[in-house]
């Protein structure tokens, strides 16, 4: 039987598509094996604040959110850093200290309900012990230094409670540092107390986190710290040029030169220019609506406004490939030893990329990296090895007892 050129081309296309599909399936299966076999660390998951607003038992499967025990096991997640997040308003009204303690209580309650599934890890050694015992080790990262309230005794208090990193500021400049989101820059970088705090964190073995900081503040923190620093949930500004919240190449290289690590945020607005622009336009519209009708930003009316806005203007979700592009860029300019994962699950709303919607989906990203010819050793580093190296260095560099 003879075939036309068109038939041959179609047959060839079918064979190629089948081969590509088979390769993708093989990579996904291998990715699942790698995430099951290697330590997987995610440095930023907003479970405590999520439960503060809408409680669910995350020791079981949950209807909402992006983290629960069954999905974490499915994704291979061993060591999530639970974000102890306090909004900028909590510094203004003086509630940050109490809120942070309540959120730590929330994490302790999760462990108390399921001590066979979870533990709290205040050091790398504790994390490794818990993972070896078959548990998910929960570390604590404080997002926003507002609860410190200018008092180094409060820093010591939170270290005793298990806090292992502090993001010095959040959406507004505070008493510690200028924020990348805030047009008002009180300090042109770190405040005098902020500089003192960085040194105290070094002494106590608490990682300094430069996510959310202005460029000047981030550069000062990197230069001032005697141990490596982290960016717990930031991506690359190369892909979002007008978004200071992401790290530019200069800061990324400076962080790497001090042996630090940037942990890639998965939120679509951190990943692509299109999603970032959408969020800016939506934010302006939401602010105008809230001001016009006197509605609080967290009110149910704003949820309805967002749903209506999205129904008229579809959100441009990023993809797994887009996230991998950020990892590629860090590797290109700083090396494989300086990148990891800081998803911001439960913290970026309905903006997560297609294929990375919750903690069960890490293998999809690993499969993409395998397709890009990342080695098994490379993947082991970015899944958790790099962050553990930094955490161990920070703890080893501590010179003051916690007690």
Q: Which two tokens stand for residue 81?
A: 């850093």
CA angle 343, 231, 40 (to 5 degrees): 45
Domain assignment present for residue 311? The answer is yes
CATH code for the domain in which residue 380 is found: 3.20.20.140
Q: Are residues 117 and 253 in the same domain?
A: yes
Question: How much is the pLDDT for 247?
Answer: 98
Domain assignment present for residue 242? The answer is yes
Domain assignment present for residue 196? The answer is yes
Q: Are residues 103 and 116 in the same domain?
A: yes
- Report DSSP letters for 319-333, one per residue: BHHHHHHHHHHHHHH
pLDDT at 16 exceeding the cut of 60 = no
Q: Are residues 200 and 247 in the same domain?
A: yes
Q: Are residues 327 and 301 in the same domain?
A: no
CA separation (Å) from 319 to 253, 260, 279? 26, 26, 16
The last residue of one of the domains, among 288, 315, 342, is 315
Domain assignment present for residue 62? The answer is yes
- What are the backbone dihedrals phi and psi of residue 331, each rounded to the nearest 5 degrees, phi first? -60, -40
Q: Are residues 77 and 179 in the same domain?
A: yes
Q: Are residues 236 and 100 in the same domain?
A: yes
The last residue of one of the domains, among 315, 337, 372, is 315
Question: How much is the pLDDT for 7?
Answer: 42
Task: Give the structural domain span for 279.
Answer: 273-315
The last residue of one of the domains, among 315, 349, 383, is 315
pLDDT at 13 exceeding the cut of 70 = no
Question: How much is the pLDDT for 28?
Answer: 97
Quote the CA–CA distance of 40 and 76 in Å, as a whole number. Answer: 6
What confidence tens digit (pLDDT) does each residue in 108-147 have? 999 999 999 999 999 999 999 999 999 999 999 999 999 9
Question: Region 33-46: what's the mean pLDDT?
Answer: 98
Question: Considering the chain, what is the average pLDDT of its residues?
Answer: 94
Q: Are residues 375 and 327 in the same domain?
A: yes
How many domains are contained in the chain?
A: 2
The label of the residue with tokens 């996230």 reads 323
Domain assignment present for residue 403? The answer is no
Question: How much is the pLDDT for 195?
Answer: 98
Q: Are residues 192 and 101 in the same domain?
A: yes
Q: Are residues 285 and 265 in the same domain?
A: no
Quote the CA–CA distance of 13 and 277 in Å, as a whole number. Answer: 37
Q: Are residues 351 and 290 in the same domain?
A: no
Q: Are residues 310 and 161 in the same domain?
A: no
Q: Are residues 279 and 258 in the same domain?
A: no
């Amino acid at each position: 039987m003879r075939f036309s050129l068109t038939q041959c081309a179609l047959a060839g296309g079918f064979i190629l598509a089948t081969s590509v599909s088979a390769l993708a399936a093989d990579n996904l299966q291998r990715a699942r094996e790698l995430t099951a076999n290697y330590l997987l660390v995610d440095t930023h998951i907003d479970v405590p604040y999520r439960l503060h607003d809408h409680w669910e038992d995350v020791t079981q499967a949950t209807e909402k959110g992006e983290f629960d025990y069954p999905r974490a096991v499915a994704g291979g997640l061993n060591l999530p850093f639970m974000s102890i997040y306090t909004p900028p308003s909590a510094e203004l009204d003086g509630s940050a200290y109490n809120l942070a303690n309540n959120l730590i209580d929330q994490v302790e309650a999760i462990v108390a309900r399921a001590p066979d599934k979870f533990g709290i890890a205040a050091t790398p050694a504790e994390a490794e012990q818990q993972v070896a015992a078959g548990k998910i080790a929960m570390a604590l990262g404080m997002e926003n230094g507002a609860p410190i309230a200018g008092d180094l005794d409060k820093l010591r208090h939170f270290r005793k409670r298990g806090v292992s990193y502090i993001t010095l500021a959040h959406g507004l400049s505070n008493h510690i540092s200028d924020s990348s989101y805030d047009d008002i820059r009180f300090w042109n970088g770190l405040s005098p107390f902020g500089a003192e705090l960085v040194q105290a964190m070094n002494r106590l073995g608490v990682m300094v986190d430069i996510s959310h900081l202005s460029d000047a503040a981030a550069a000062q923190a990197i230069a001032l710290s005697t141990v490596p620093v982290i960016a717990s949930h930031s991506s690359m500004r190369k892909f979002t040029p007008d978004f200071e919240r992401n790290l530019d190449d200069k800061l990324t290289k400076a962080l790497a030169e001090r042996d630090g690590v940037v942990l890639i945020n998965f939120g679509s607005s951190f990943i692509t220019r299109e999603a970032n622009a959408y969020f800016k336009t939506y934010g302006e519209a939401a602010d105008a609506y809230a001001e016009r009708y006197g509605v609080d930003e967290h009110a149910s009316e704003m949820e309805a406004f967002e749903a209506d806005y999205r129904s008229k203007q579809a959100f441009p979700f990023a993809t797994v490939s887009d996230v991998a592009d950020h990892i590629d860029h860090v590797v290109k300019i700083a090396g494989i030893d300086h990148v990891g994962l800081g998803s911001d699950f439960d913290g970026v709303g309905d903006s997560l990329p297609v294929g990375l919607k919750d903690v069960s989906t890490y293998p999809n990203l690993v499969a993409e990296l395998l397709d890009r010819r990342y080695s098994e050793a490379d993947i082991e580093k970015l899944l958790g090895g790099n962050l553990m190296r930094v955490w161990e260095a920070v703890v080893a560099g501590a010179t003051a007892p916690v007690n």
